[in-house]
Amino acid sequence: MRKYTPKDNVQGKAYHTDRFWVAPSVPRTDASEDAHFAALLEKIKESIAVKDAYIQIGQMVVHINPEDNIAALRLVKEACDYAMCTEISAVDYLAQEGEFEVFYQMLNLKKAKRIRIVTRLKEGQAIESVVPLFNSANFAEREMYDMFGIVANNHPFMKRILMPDDWEGHPLLKTYPLQGDEAASWYEVDKIFGKEYREIIGAENRDPSKIDRYDTKRFSRVGYEVPFDADISEGEKETPIEYSETLLVNYNKSSKQLDERR
């Protein structure tokens, strides 16, 4: 029996985990521990619903509702000097919670402080683009769309950025396969002839650079011509035709050999 792999997360897994092992957590401290962050959080809370806020590894993380993203970013940009949005991306939690986590990494250049504004999106839910506030979102949101399929509404050019335009699927989803489909060479055969003809028809050739030495239909044999569609699996017959010397150069032999010159 084939090993069961969950379809909602096909990524690499640890091959062994101790039964009693519990992952510790990075400590979170309250936002009130840092004067700057505390004041900032107060300001955000005045107008925006904050679901959770804490400091983790020197940066404040603020969880908000996805509808408030523009308002929150405008507030921290205009009132709190967070002039740069250095990164926008997402984390795939579809398997666990059916949600994406989208984060906006903000930088205050005057005080050298960073915060991360985090929001959760349901699958298929779009988020409002923040390009009117930060042009850096232009590329970042396109990448987020390309990698996760999260659409940013009112983005000036919501298209794929890294993958080709006609690509199927979004590579950073946990459901995205890590390898090609090994059964793919049978799909066309099954569709056209039916599964029972597999042995007769054989697997479809999906390698465009494949060369079959005995295939006299699709491949020519320069210098050793045989009739079209002849069976040469037993070795080809001698042909009385003489060929041009230029076609039959022996590349293994060097043209300048000392014994020949003598």
Partner 1 sequence: MMQQPNKLVPFFENLNFERDDNTMVVNFGPQHPSAHGQLRLMLELEGEKVVKAYPDIGYLHRGIEKMAENMTYNEFLPTTDRLDYIASTANNYAYAHAVEKLLGIEAPRRAQAIRTMLLELNRIISHLFFIATHALDVGAMSVFLYAFREREFAMDLMEDYCGARLTHSSVRIGGVPLDLPEGWLAQMMTFLDKMEHELEHTYEALLTENRIWKMRLEDVGVIDAEDALSWGCTGPILRGAGVQYDVRKEEPYELYGELDFDIPVSDRNDAYGRYMLHVEEMRQSARIIRQVMPIYRKSEPQLMAHAPQYLSAPKEEIMTQNYALMQHFVLVTQGMRPPKGEVYAPTESPKGELGFYIKSEGEPYAYRLKCRAPSFYHTGILQKVLVGTYLADVVTMISSSNIVFGEVDR
- Residues near partner 1 (CB under 8 A): 11-17, 23-26, 28, 56-57, 59, 61, 83-87, 89, 91-92, 103, 105, 109, 112, 114, 116, 134-136, 138-140, 143, 147, 160-166, 171-172, 176, 178
CB of 155 to partner 1, least distance (A): 13
Closest CB to partner 1 among residues 74, 116 = 116
- Return d(Cα 163, Cα 58) in angstroms, integer: 34
CB of 254 to partner 1, least distance (A): 35
Rg of the chain over Cα atoms, rounded to whole angstroms, equals 31
CB of 50 to partner 1, least distance (A): 18
CB of 146 to partner 1, least distance (A): 8
Residue 245 gets which letter from DSSP?
A: G
Distant-in-sequence, close-in-space partners of 163: CB < 8 Å, separation ≥ 6:
146, 171
Closest CB to partner 1 among residues 102, 216 = 102
> Is 67 in contact with 119 (CB distance < 8 Å)?
no
Closest CB to partner 1 among residues 33, 212 = 33
Residue 176 gets which letter from DSSP?
A: S
Closest CB to partner 1 among residues 101, 128 = 101
- Return d(Cα 162, Cα 150) in angstroms, integer: 15
The SS3 assignment for 248 reads helix
